[in-house]
Structures are given as C-alpha cells and as structure tokens.
Amino acid sequence: MKTAVVLFNLGGPDSPQAVRPFLFNLFNDPAIIGLPTPFRGLLARLISSRRHKVAQAIYDQIGGRSPILPQTEDQARALDIVLNSGGSETGGEWKSFVCMRYWHPRAEAVVRAVKEWQPDRVLLLPLYPQFSTTTTGSSLREWYRLAMVHDLIAPTQAVCCWPVLAGFVDAVAQLTAPRLAEAAKHGRPRVLFSAHGLPEKVIRAGDPYADHVMASARAIAARLRLQQEDAAGNGDWLMCFQSRVGPLKWLGPYTDQTIVQTAKAKRPIVIVPLAFTSEHSETLVELDIEYRHLAEQHGAPAYLRVPTVQTHPAFIAGLVGLTRQVLTNDRLVQSAEGQRRCVADRRGCPIVSVARALGATSVKA
C-alpha cells in the first residue's frame, strides 16, 4: 500500500522577483476576490503592481524571501520519517508532497508528481489548523479540479481542519510556557493569541474560521491553565487578529490595538501566532519587528513572541495520529465534546460539496 500525503500551505515568494507574481496569484484567487474571471485578473494585476514594492520591502527584512517552503519541506520529511518507521501501525510506503497555493510548487506540478508516484491512496492534509474558505477551501478546490484534469484516480481523502488537535495544542503550549515564565518576571503577563484576520463579511457568509481560532485558543489556554479575560480585565489571555488590509471591516479586536492597550497598562506581552504552523512575513516582520516596536514605543515591560510549531515533535506526532485516524475511520472526526466544529450541519460546507461532486472518497472534519 502506497500512500501519498499532500501537505498544503499558502506559499511565499522565493526571491525579490517573485513578489509581484506571488501577489498576482493571491489576488487572482476567486476565494480572495470574487469577481468573474476577466475582471478579477485585471484587478489582481492592478493590486499586485501597486503593492509589490511595499511587499518586497517587507521581504527584504527577512532576506528577500519567505521561509515557508523550506520549513514545510522540513515538516514533510519529519512526517515521512515517522510514518515510514511505524511498522504495522502505519503500514506500507508513505511519501509526503508539498503543495503551495500561490507560489511554487503549485498544485498542477504536484498533482503530476503524485500521479507519477502511482499511490494506492491519497490523503490531502492542509497545514492550516483552522478551516477557512480562503485557505483550506481554496487549496482543496484547486486540487480536486486539477486531479480531474490530470486523471489522478487514486482514492482520495481530505482533512478539513484540526483546530484542537492534541499534538498541535501540546506543541504550542510547550513553546509558550517558557515565554510565559520569562514574561512573569516583569509583571502580570497578558497572552495574546493572534491569528491572521479576515473581513467580517466572509464570516457572516458562513466561514467557520473565527469559531475555529477561538477553539484553538481555548484549548491551548486550558493546557496552560490560563483564564480568558472578562470585560473587567480579569484573566490572562485575549484573542485578536492581525494583518488587516483595505477599507473593509475585519475581525477584531485588532492585534496592534490590543498591543498598545496592553503596553500602556504596563503588562508584559506574550504573543502566540495561532493560525500559522511555520514562519513567514506575518510572524517574522509583523509580529517580530513592527509589533515589537509598537509595544516598546508604548512602554510594554516585556514583549515575547512564541515561535510557530514547525517540526516540534508533539506536532509531528499529532499529524501522524491524524493521518491514521482519517484513513481508518469512515465517520467524520469529532471534537472531544462529540460536536462537529463546523457551523450548522455542514450543508453549506464548500469542501464537502466540491469533494463529493468531484468524486473524492470522503472528507474529514
């Protein structure tokens, strides 16, 4: 039995010259801009031409390229080592393929590589812990479409989301604990769980992302025995959202504004990137440089940023367990409380509907 595991992530430019086409690919995604094809392409060209110099200056601060591909490749190698040494627990031959949404290696090339390897089954495993139509939804839609085009007929299963996966929660908690202890030397810390934001209209349309990131934050906080802050400021942690752009109203509270408020209160800050499993510009520049400066400017006694999980042993073990669970269980994977994590009854879930229409064996939540 040969099993191909496809790891999906956003991707990032691998050189200064790649920034503009990367941005074009991003804004030409119908999950990001919902205009019809010719108009979306024109708008994507306009936005990428106007924004690429600003974006390039951001990447210049981290060596001119995103680290997301090499770090995802490291995750793939770590996963393969465990899966292929698992004996009867995993069985057969496993091979992980990295697939990026907006830069290389993109889905078309990866579909061809998977087909050439001739697997007996395929597992699609997004490295986005929380589901959104703009991340997991977009990546899996593209994969299913191209798998049909290239006649990749191996039975396929897809993981929808894993916001409270034990290995993920444990890894983040273990990485947070020493920063929390360090921050406590400077006063009563406030832990800020920060996730990439989305326009509120996306959530109103039924996207479960906001519920998923809150579920992740609560699970990690429970591991660390932290209490969520109430309206009076009693407690240890808050959920907030970063990286907003444009005139639309985005999910709040905003991370930058929460940092200013916390700094002015003279509380040390521990910031936890919640929706990222590898480093990229939102962590290395926005959190590490821009928001650190903001915290120091407004008098924060300490500002500590928790690293992403990357190849943390608990995280890799969690992914291994997830692959086994999905491939051996025909029912939807449920949360510890026995409740589905998606809104309503999933009748509107784009992944379920698209996967079924394109002949996927099953989709797991």
Please state the domain count of the chain.
2
pLDDT at residue 358 in the model: 43
Per-residue pLDDT, averaged over 295-304, amounts to 98
How far, in Å, CA of 289 to CA of 221, rounded? Answer: 25
pLDDT at residue 335 in the model: 37
pLDDT at residue 225 in the model: 97
- Output 73 or 37, whichever has higher pLDDT: 73
Are 219 and 284 contained in the same domain?
Answer: yes
- Reading the block at residue 342, the tokens are 């998606």
- Examine residue 331 and state whether it is found in any structural domain, yes or no: yes
- Examine residue 32 and state whether it is found in any structural domain, yes or no: no
Rounded to whole angstroms, what are the CA distances from 59 to 12, 227, 246, 285?
10, 36, 20, 8
Are 116 and 243 contained in the same domain?
Answer: no
Are 222 and 283 contained in the same domain?
Answer: yes
Query: Which residues form the domain of 8?
Result: 2-12+66-162+312-364
Are 92 and 110 contained in the same domain?
Answer: yes
CB 262 within 8 Å of CB 237? no
Model confidence band, residue 360 (pLDDT cutoffs 50, 70, 90): very low
User: In sequence order, what DSSP letters do the residues of 71-84 get, joined into one string?
Assistant: HHHHHHHHHHHHHH
Are 237 and 149 contained in the same domain?
Answer: no
- Reading the block at residue 135, the tokens are 């991340």
User: Given 305, 330, 345, which residue is the final one in a domain?
Assistant: 305
Nearest Cα residue to 5 out of 131, 128, 159, 149: 159
- Examine residue 218 and state whether it is found in any structural domain, yes or no: yes
- Examine residue 46 and state whether it is found in any structural domain, yes or no: no
- Examine residue 124 and state whether it is found in any structural domain, yes or no: yes
Other beta carbons less than 10 A from residue 72's beta carbon = 25
- Examine residue 39 and state whether it is found in any structural domain, yes or no: no
Residue 311's φ and ψ, nearest 5 degrees, are -105, 30
* Amino acid identity, position 214: M
How far, in Å, CA of 314 to CA of 306, rounded? Answer: 16
- Examine residue 50 and state whether it is found in any structural domain, yes or no: no
CB 290 within 8 Å of CB 57? no
CATH classification at residue 189: 3.40.50.1400
Are 6 and 146 contained in the same domain?
Answer: yes
Beta-ladder partners of 239: 193
pLDDT at residue 362 in the model: 46
Is residue 133 predicted with pLDDT exceeding 80? yes
User: 């191209």: which residue's tokens?
Assistant: 146
Sign of CA dihedral 174, 66, 50, 136: negative
Are 179 and 297 contained in the same domain?
Answer: yes
Element containing residue 25 per DSSP (H, E): helix 19-27
How far, in Å, CA of 258 to CA of 58, rounded? Answer: 22
Are 125 and 157 contained in the same domain?
Answer: yes
Per-residue pLDDT, averaged over 199-206, amounts to 91
Q: pLDDT tens for residues 39-49?
A: 999 999 999 99
Are 171 and 294 contained in the same domain?
Answer: yes
How far, in Å, CA of 341 to CA of 232, rounded? Answer: 29
Is residue 339 predicted with pLDDT exceeding 70? no
* Amino acid identity, position 10: L
Are 110 and 128 contained in the same domain?
Answer: yes
How far, in Å, CA of 284 to CA of 68, rounded? Answer: 11
CB 114 within 8 Å of CB 82? no
Pairing of strands 93-100, 121-126: unpaired
pTM of the model: 0.91
Cis peptide leading into 105, omega within 30 of 0? yes
Is residue 230 predicted with pLDDT exceeding 50? yes
Per-residue pLDDT, averaged over 208-237, amounts to 94
* Amino acid identity, position 133: T
pLDDT at residue 349 in the model: 53
302: left (phi over 0), alpha (psi -120 to 50) or beta: beta
User: Given 258, 289, 305, which residue is the final one in a domain?
Assistant: 305
Residue 42's φ and ψ, nearest 5 degrees, are -65, -45
User: Given 259, 277, 305, which residue is the final one in a domain?
Assistant: 305
Sign of CA dihedral 64, 66, 69, 74: positive
CB 82 within 8 Å of CB 96? no
- Examine residue 44 and state whether it is found in any structural domain, yes or no: no
* Amino acid identity, position 262: T
Are 91 and 233 contained in the same domain?
Answer: no
Nearest Cα residue to 262 out of 187, 171, 338: 187
Per-residue pLDDT, averaged over 18-38, amounts to 94
- The mean pLDDT value of the chain amounts to 89
Are 236 and 336 contained in the same domain?
Answer: no
Burial (Cβ within 10 Å: 0-12, 13-18, ≥19) of residue 211: middle
How far, in Å, CA of 262 to CA of 299, rounded? Answer: 9
